[in-house]
């Protein structure tokens, strides 16, 4: 009778082969990072052997029986192939934040980065190894013999790794400390560790809701009896490098020209995260970037809750992947019902909508903005885009750099039109409201610099393009007079470094909200505002 197996192999041999295959087939990014740190072949081989030792040790613990070994090995192969696809296609690393960004995306956004080549990766890197594993007869020895064999195997690897590490142990510790990105390039420990981190983060769900600024009260200082209308436009994937307001040679912000006198642009403004899933909750948090804990937004109050507690109507209008749990206790509207909509849908019937509320209001407009990789879908196809030719490939690495920049710049130019149209509406309401608009992107974007695309890089090693973002304030003269704000004073201070950390405290100060959580030093308006 013909055997159903094509290969027969001992368990310890299977562990070694699978560990070696995992290292060689799926860890291109790891070797790329090692060669960037030190191009020496010996250094790369040494780092590779240490990774091999760690894989062997982990697999020795995981591969416990023939049936479970095959199931785990097949499962890991498929996940490894998917990880390899994203890491090699977009030159990204995988950490908790990157995985969190994937979990919180929607089906349409996910479709923008999933392309036909992923099937090739899964077929070659997942299905083919799975078939070979199924056709392999993995022989296990009796328990004690199996344990002794695995112990010897790992001791040999550990001894060799120690010999590699020991002569320059201090230098190797320094390298690991300075290059944390190595952890996020090592498959499969990167996505397994990220998954464990997210599970720990979602423990927050079981904790009771914790309000903030429970001592909040309003001390009215503005000089009229109009209702206040505070508008925060949360941009998406706009990077400061491509905003002409900040010095970019292309006039990507030309649409805002009519309002330049009333607009204060912050040239040195930085995000507190490199992904929507982290940056948006951090924007509304009372905590600074250094203090903010991912997942705390699930059960902790934020800026919108504070304003609601003093009588403001909170309204979040979304054209993105929802509000990232920042609007759980205020009104949420999501007018886009199709695959994707242009951002102008956010301001449809905005004036009558606000008039019907007829009270102090905090409005958030959450853009689709310049989310990639298909930047060309962020503006109407019948719009006469200023820059061409453009990239229409879902893999930006397959386009010329100029085509990619053209498509991205068109999305920024269209964002400028959206912002101008929003200001037009608010300007018409300035006879009824003390109105102010604050625009800030959630994070930036990489457009091929150093071979990196998109965003969500680990914060500590993220390129500047993903951290340096555009931000500006628009305030009509009537509102500036009411709030006692000197626009010229704001402009003189606009070149100083600012970040998402300033948003919470600036709005509290502007709204006259007194609370122990307010920090005057982080209030952009504080030194330019006369409260008496």
- Strand-pair partners of 362: 230, 314
Nearest-angstrom CA–CA distance, 395 and 292: 33
Count of Cβ atoms closer than 10 Å to residue 250 Cβ? 16
**What's the 3-state SS for 413-472?**
HHHHHHHHHHHHHHHHCCCCEEEEEEEEECCCCEECHHHCEECCCCHHHCCHHHHEECEE
Nearest in space to 242 (alpha carbons), one of 401, 450, 409:
409
Under 8 Å between Cβ of 523 and 306 = no
Mean pLDDT by 10 residues, the chain (532 residues): 73 95 93 82 86 94 91 95 87 78 63 72 93 93 92 92 77 66 88 85 75 96 95 97 98 97 97 93 96 89 97 96 89 88 96 95 97 92 94 88 97 98 97 97 95 88 95 97 96 96 98 97 94 62
Nearest in space to 356 (alpha carbons), one of 317, 313, 323:
313
- pLDDT, residue 106, reads 60
> Domain residues of the chain, as ranges?
7-203, 227-241+261-388+413-528
Residues 6+ apart with CB under 8 A from 143: none
Nearest-angstrom CA–CA distance, 229 and 432: 9
Nearest-angstrom CA–CA distance, 204 and 226: 40
Q: Which CATH superfamily is domain 227-241+261-388+413-528 in?
A: Alkaline Phosphatase, subunit A (3.40.720.10)
| Dihedral (Cα; 28, 184, 117, 397), 10-degree rounding | -80
Cα→Cα distances 115→99, 175, 198, 290, Å: 18, 35, 26, 36
**Do the strands 7-10 and 136-139 form a parallel or antiparallel pair, or are they unpaired?**
parallel
How many Å from the N-terminal Cα to the C-terminal Cα in the chain?
96
Nearest-angstrom CA–CA distance, 396 and 388: 15
- pLDDT, residue 1, reads 45
Helix (H) or strand (E) holding 230: strand 227-235
- pLDDT, residue 69, reads 94
Nearest-angstrom CA–CA distance, 397 and 456: 17
């Amino acid at each position: 009778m013909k055997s159903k197996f094509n290969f027969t192999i001992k368990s310890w041999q299977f562990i070694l082969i699978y560990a070696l295959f995992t290292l060689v087939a799926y860890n291109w990014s790891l070797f790329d990072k090692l060669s960037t740190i030190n191009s020496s072949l010996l250094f790369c081989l040494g780092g590779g052997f240490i990774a091999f030792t760690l894989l062997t040790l982990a697999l020795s613990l995981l591969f416990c029986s023939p049936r479970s070994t095959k199931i785990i090995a097949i499962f890991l192969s498929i996940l490894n192939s998917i990880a390899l696809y994203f890491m090699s296609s977009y030159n990204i690393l995988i950490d908790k934040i990157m995985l969190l960004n994937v979990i919180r995306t929607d089906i349409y956004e996910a479709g923008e980065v999933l392309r036909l080549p992923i099937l090739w990766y899964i077929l070659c890197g997942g299905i083919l190894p799975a078939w070979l594993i199924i056709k392999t007869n993995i022989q296990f020895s009796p328990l004690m013999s199996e344990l002794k064999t695995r112990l010897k195997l790992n001791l040999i690897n550990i001894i060799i790794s120690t010999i590699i590490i020991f002569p320059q142990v201090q230098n190797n510790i320094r390298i690991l400390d300075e290059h944390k990105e190595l952890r996020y390039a090592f498959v499969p420990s990167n996505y397994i560790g990220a998954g464990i981190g997210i599970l720990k983060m979602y423990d927050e769900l079981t904790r009771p809701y914790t309000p903030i600024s429970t001592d909040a009260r309003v001390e009215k200082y503005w000089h009229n009896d109009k209702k206040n209308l505070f508008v925060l436009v949360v941009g998406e994937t706009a990077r400061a490098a491509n905003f002409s307001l900040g010095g970019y040679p292309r006039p990507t912000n030309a649409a805002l020209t009519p309002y330049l006198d009333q607009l204060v642009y912050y040239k040195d403004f930085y995000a507190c995260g490199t992904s929507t899933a982290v940056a948006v909750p951090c924007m509304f948090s009372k905590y600074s970037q250094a203090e903010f804990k991912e997942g705390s937004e699930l059960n902790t109050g934020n800026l919108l809750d504070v304003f609601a507690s003093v009588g403001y109507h909170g309204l979040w209008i979304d054209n993105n992947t929802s509000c990232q749990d920042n609007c759980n206790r205020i009104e949420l509207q999501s007018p886009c019902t199709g695959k994707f909509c242009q951002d102008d849908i956010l301001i449809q019937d905005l004036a009558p909508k606000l008039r019907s509320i007829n009270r102090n209001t905090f409005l958030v407009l959450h853009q689709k903005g310049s989310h990639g990789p298909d930047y060309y879908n962020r503006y109407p196809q019948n719009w006469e885009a200023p820059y061409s030719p453009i990239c229409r490939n879902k893999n930006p690495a397959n386009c010329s750099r100029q085509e990619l920049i053209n498509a991205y710049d068109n999305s920024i130019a269209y964002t400028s039109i959206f912002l101008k149209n929003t200001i037009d509406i608010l300007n018409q309401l300035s006879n009824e409201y003390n109105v102010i608009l604050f625009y800030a992107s959630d994070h930036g974007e990489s457009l091929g610099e150093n071979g990196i695309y998109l965003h969500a890089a680990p914060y500590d090693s993220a390129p500047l393009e993903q951290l340096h973002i555009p931000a500006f304030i628009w305030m009509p003269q009537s509102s500036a007079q009411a709030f006692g704000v000197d626009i010229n004073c704001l402009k003189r201070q606009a070149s100083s470094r600012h970040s998402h950390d300033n948003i919470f405290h600036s709005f509290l100060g502007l709204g006259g909200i007194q609370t122990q959580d307010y920090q005057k030093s982080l209030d952009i308006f504080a030194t330019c505002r006369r409260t008496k």
